[in-house]
Structure 1
Amino acid sequence: MTVTGTTLVIGATGTTGSRVAARLTAAGHRVRAAGRRAAPVPGAEPVRFDWYEPATHLDALDGVDRVYLIPPLGDSDPAAVMLPFLRRARIAGVRRAVLLSSSAIPEGGPAVGRVHQALPGLFEQWAVLRPSWFMQNFTGTHAHALSIREEGVIWTATGSGRVGFVDAEDIAAVAVHALTDDHAPGTDLVLTGPEALSHDDIATVITEVTGRPVIHRRLSPERMRDRLAAHVPPEFAAMLAGMDRAIAEGAEDRTTDVVQRLTGRPPRGFRAVAEREMTRSG
């Protein structure tokens, strides 16, 4: 398919948004890179965008016909700001919306699940990406990555539960497919890596790749909630701790073929991502 319009990438400096914007511009697509500060992405037009400042929305939407949606971080009710924006986007001429959600949140579920539920009524062309937990949570700026570097510890309430962790590069590749391909819209896509791993497994791989000892400390959901509440709003902390409990109960112990099916190559495993993104020390 030849895409002639402009794609608005919200969160264009974030973990998936930066990768989506880079892939689109590299393929010759017109991109408007949106962020709270105008996002500097090579080859893209920067524009300031803040979910909580509706005055920034119209400029961001000018001339746009498709949009990659990253929900506002740390908001337990993102639909309150996202749905008015999406209604405005439809009026402004947006034809296709691709939403980043989570494998832990079904259509109609809490938080971004309400936005997922509303998309088919707003756009004829839509897709919802529901990736499992990001591998980059252990290599980037996430709390897990920080505690690994500072303490050599991963703190969770997941117990021995396993997760089909997925590489953000694979999420971005699927997102670009959903934004540009004729056959992707109208789909709910659960994305995983090639295997389900426990946080004990993750700690072992990081130890082997970096040469620095890393362990997984198991907390109760209540203690995990309290730990998170020091950094995020209480409602969001409770939701995240609840997701850890669900992992402990087996909710994320699965893999899918979505990355392979839509990109034509297998998803990357965690060891390969750790070797790519974490520096080995002696």
Structure 2
Amino acid sequence: MQNIPQMHASFMKDSQMFAQYMGDTRIPMVDARDIAKAALAGLTSDAFNGKIHYITGPQSISFDDVAKAFSKPLGKDIIYVNLTYEDQKAGLEAYGTPDMIVQTVMSLFKRWSEGEDQPTTSDYEKITGERATDINTFAAEVAGSF
């Protein structure tokens, strides 16, 4: 989730929109703070040894969901604009993003946008005993820093 303000905060604030190549794909975005909590629990308990855990957010969300989540705390209607693959790639390159990162990011975006919606897991909740942060809570917590 931290990629959202990193990549889109200025557009949301100044233009009431943000653009991304993802269509209506739904992915289980996760708050980096939740990853850290799960890692701490895994490092301080033997209960999780020898097991693979997939840490996800509590639900798979689209970028339209992201726009709606940020609209409320920002006090304005935020619109998500779906970019084409070519426009997203050109934008990253124009920004000066190193080629290796452009290739990696675009490969991931393409796989997500052309594949099925990505499922969630309950692994975070099993490990920490807490519910993972949802996009509405995240948006409310970080929008004030825009």
- TM-score (ref. length: structure 1): 0.47
Matched, 1:219 2:83: yes
Residue type of the alignment partner of 1:245 = K
Give 1:161 shift.
0.3
Q: Confirm whether residue 253 of structure 1 aligns to residue 118 of structure 2.
A: yes
Residue in structure 2 matched with residue 112 of structure 1 by the alignment: none
User: Could you tell me how far 1:263 is from its partner in structure 2?
Assistant: 0.3
The alpha carbon displacement at 1:202 in A equals: 0.7
**1:146: which partner in 2?**
10
Q: Which amino acid aligns with 1:255?
A: T
- 1:24 — aligned with what? none
Instruction: Give SS of 1:193's match.
Output: coil
Offset, 1:163? 1.0
SS class of match (1:212): coil
Matches within 5 A, 1:85-234: 135-139=1-5, 142-229=6-93, 230-234=95-99
Counterpart-to-counterpart distance in 2, 1:232 and 1:225: 10
C-alpha separation in 1, matches of 2:51 and 2:18? 34
Amino acid at match of 2:53: L
Any conservation in 2 of the 1:161–1:198 contact (CA below 8 Å)? yes
Cα offset, 1:251, TM superposition = 4.8
**What is the one-letter code of the residue matched to 1:158?**
M
Give, as a single letter, the amino acid of the residue that structure 2 aligns with 1:201. Answer: D
CA distance in structure 1 between the aligned counterparts of 2:92 and 2:50, rounded to whole angstroms: 35
RMSD between aligned residues = 2.2
SS at match of 2:118: coil
What runs of 5+ residues in structure 1 fail to find an aligned partner? 1-134
Structure holding more helix per residue: 2
C-alpha displacement of 1:233: 0.7
Distance 1:176 1:245, change over 3 A: same
Aligned 1:31-70 pairs, distance under 5 A = none
CA distance in 1, matches of 2:41, 2:109: 30
1:222/1:241 contact within 8 Å kept: no
Query: One-letter code of the match for 2:138?
Result: V
Q: Secondary structure at the match of 2:46?
A: coil
- Unaligned 5+ segments in structure 2 are none
Give, as a single letter, the amino acid of the residue that structure 2 aligns with 1:162.
Answer: R
Quick check: which one's strand share is greater? 1
Post-superposition offset of 1:239: 1.7
**CA 1:238/1:146 → structure 2, altered by over 3 Å: closer, same or farther?**
farther
* Structure 2 residue 127 is matched with structure 1 residue 262: yes
* Alpha-carbon separation, structure 1, partners of 2:15 and 2:82: 15
**Residues 192 and 259 of structure 1 are in contact (CA less than 8 Å); yes or no, is this contact kept in structure 2?**
yes
**AA partner of residue 225 (structure 1):** K
